[in-house]
Amino acid sequence: MRAFVAIDLARDIRVELAKLQDILRSSGSDVKWVEPSHIHITLKFLGDINQAQLEKSRESLSIISKDFNPFYVSLSEVGAFPKLDYPRVIWAGVDKGREELVSLNKRIEEIFEKSGFPKEDRPYEPHITIGRVRSGKNKDRLKKIIMEHNFSLEAVMAVDKVTLYQSTLTAAGPIYTVLSEAKFKEQGA
């Protein structure tokens, strides 16, 4: 099964990101927009795993969750990877909670590497993927909207757990199934 570790987003953040997608969609660019119900913050993509790796992943998340207190995340600007002139992924950035996410990712990489998962070779950049560019159609209009529109992404959410998901790819899009959740320790515990 394909699996990844992520942070689920609060409903109000998904609603705000759906509105943002509608604004960007007006560019007429060729983008596959992520379904609002599927939007999340990825911490680590595991790829195809077997039952033994699933159990190791659950154990690893349990260990990691005891190292972190709940924290808050807010959104910032909108951008594109690798860069706005040649967009492949459209994202919303993370403002508040950025350092915590980087720290959480670092810990996940350390613990999962001990469980046999390869470490990611690129530095972790906290972001929320909202669309994937399929072609260059109207990319200049998309760039112009991103650069000129004053996006005020004001939703804030508490992060109190990490989730292990299974991703089943279908013709209609991915189906995400929660395999495990690990709650962070309580403040002051």
Question: Which entry of 56, 127, 139, 143 is annotated as an active-site residue?
Answer: 127
- 127 is a catalytic site residue: yes
- 38 is a catalytic site residue: no
| Residue at 12 is within a domain | yes
Q: Give the torsion through C-alpha atoms of 66, 70, 75, 76, to 10 deg.
A: -80
Asked if residue 138 lies in contact with residue 27, where contact means CB atoms within 8 angstroms, the answer is: yes
Q: Which domain holds residue 102?
A: 2-183
**Residue 156: which CATH number?**
3.90.1140.10
| Residue at 189 is within a domain | no
Report which of 131, 109, 141 is spatially closest to residue 44, judged by C-alpha positions: 109
CA–CA distance, 155 with 181 (Å, rounded to integer): 23
- The DSSP output letter for 38 is G
Distance of CA 184 to the CA centre of its chain: 18
Task: Give the pLDDT score at 119.
Answer: 93
Strands (E), the chain: 2-8, 31-33, 40-48, 71-83, 86-94, 127-133, 156-159, 161-168, 175-183
Task: Specify the number of domains making up the chain.
Answer: 1
Task: Give the pLDDT score at 188.
Answer: 54
| Residue at 188 is within a domain | no
Task: Give the pLDDT score at 160.
Answer: 96
Specify the 3-state DSSP secondary structure of 164: strand
Mean pLDDT, contiguous 10-residue spans, the chain (189 residues): 95 92 95 94 95 94 93 90 93 93 96 92 94 94 86 83 94 89 78
Model-level pTM greater than 0.85?
A: yes
CA–CA distance, 184 with 159 (Å, rounded to integer): 9
